[in-house]
Amino acid sequence: MMRALMVALPPDMPSLFDTLRFDNTFLAELPGDPDTGARRREVRGALWSRVTPTPVAAPRTLAVSREMAATLGLRDDDVASETFAQVFAGNALLPGMDPFATNYGGHQFGHWAGQLGDGRAISLGETVNATGDRWELQLKGAGATPYSRSADGRAVLRSSIREFLCSEAMHHLGVPTTRALSLVATGEDVVRDMFYDGHPKPEPGAVVCRAAPSFLRFGHFELPSSRGEVDLLRQLTDFAIRRDFPHLAGSGEALYADWFAEVCTRTARLMAEWMRVGFVHGVMNTDNLSILGLTIDYGPYGWIDAYDPEWTPNTTDAGGRRYRFGWQPAVARWNLVRLAQAISPLFAGGEALQAGIDAFGGAYTVADRDNTARKLGLAECRDDDVALIRDLHGSMQEAEVDMTLWFRALMDVDIDAPTLKPLEESFYDPAKREAHGAQFDDWLQRYAARLREDTLSAADRRERMRLANPKYVLRNYLAQEVIDRAEAGDAAGIGELLEAMRRPYDDIPVGGRADSERYAAKRPDWARDRAGCSMLSCSS
């Protein structure tokens, strides 16, 4: 039933084999590397390389997304089986799996980096589920590939927990994202220098199985273009439209223009969603942006606690702050311009590409204004409402106000007698609250006056705000607490935190737990400057 790599598998439930059916169109329809194996090399004229995951010593399943498992048609006894752990650690292959790593380049921190590729990710194959939806299953941390350069292709437990949790948390928030199926401990240590400061140490290893309809990135198009491989670029573009954008019709430049415009508008809507919930990606290189407009590659990401558009969670970005919270829409546009340059050989002129870039700006403005209306509980966003929320953001930054708590509590303000009382918990510094109190009082009066002239009823306004302003987000300190527990041998916290993230807009206790309110609390003082809570590195 299955091809073993390094281990003998127990004869457990066969439905894993019956449910996951692979067609692997990426390999079937696009040119690949004639060489095989993980030897580091430059790969030209090809979009993928076959490579086998490196087996691990003692795989153990730590967590599974029940929603993603159900989407794939997997049952509870499937995911609880030893076979599941072996397959999704990279120790065994199911029939139809044909592992590969893809070849792409990218601009990193604004500079062209040449060939990059899947250095720690190995795709097992593309499966089509019972409803006809395509899911590419990809192991992150499953060993070296031709694109690993000097790295080992492994991943540590801390970064794997963060990727697993955030992939699913973003899904439940309604933010377009790649997904996570499973988190498997390897039973092996991985040596990492977490902050690149000359202090490497062994850490427990893990493998995440992530899933997406497509893992194609801007960088997949940049690399063949940079090498003058125009035929390969055209093949890839035609394939991406055929497989991932089947609703687009037409041919030639008109079809390419429609496709690029949709990539731009999807990216714009994604940026607006990040800004709505307070998510900071941390490393928005062109190889980390998806052509489907999905959040991809959860590395040194972070969540805004005290509102600060200048904050970046990435230690590598601490100097220039290129990827800071407030700059994300501008960086996305910059990246789209790089994508436009990459596919320009497919166009006779630049007008259609400029139209796509313009579409990004228009789509972002529409989405951002819609978010403003929803977060403030308004039927629509007028021009003066843009100024209203801009003034609020300025005051929040000055007074160190928690973004998530403020907007969640805003729906409790009495519009007939507005005061700061429902919002007091969102301030980190009581002295700053006092110093800026008059400023906020004035803003609340303006806000209440605006609500009194709005067309929404009080009940409709509250519901609109509830669904736009999450109560639970994956704050860095919550993830770090879970990581600390898991590294000490207790992985139960992963599932507990995921349970809270499953219903981010609800007020009811998470899973009936009396202590669930702690998942909605603001960052504690101990986490203000702690590694993993305030800043993170790209180390994985």
- 503 phi, psi to nearest 5 deg: -130, 65
> How far apart are alpha carbons 99 and 51 in whole angstroms?
6
3-class state of residue 217 by DSSP: strand
336, with CB counted inside 10 A (0-12, 13-18, 19+), is buried
> How far apart are alpha carbons 70 and 234 in whole angstroms?
36
Contacts (Cβ under 8 Å, ≥6 apart) of 360: 264, 265, 267, 268, 332, 333, 336
Provide the token pair at 499: 């349970």
For the residues of 474-494, what is the DSSP string, one character each?
A: --HHHHHHHHHHHHTT-THHH
Question: Do the Cβ atoms of 99 and 52 come closer than 8 Å?
Answer: yes
Hey, which bits of 193-334 come out as E strands?
201-212, 279-280, 302-303
User: Is 287 annotated as catalytic?
Assistant: yes
- Tokens 């259609």 belong to residue: 352
Provide the token pair at 515: 């202590």
Provide the token pair at 445: 């009066």
> How far apart are alpha carbons 464 and 175 in whole angstroms?
17
C-alpha Rg value of the chain to the nearest Å: 24
> Of 33, 78, 287, 297, which is the active-site residue?
287
Amino acid at 135: W
Look up residue 469 and give its DSSP letter: S
| Residue 505 CA to its chain's centroid (Å) | 19
Provide the token pair at 7: 């281990």
3-class state of residue 180 by DSSP: strand
C-alpha angle 265-270-106 in degrees, rounded to nearest 5: 85
Instruction: Write b or e for each residue in 7-30: b if 16 or more Cβ atoms lie within 10 A of its Cβ, otherwise e.
Output: eebeeebeebbebbbbebbbbeeb
> How far apart are alpha carbons 145 and 120 in whole angstroms?
7
Active site residues: 287
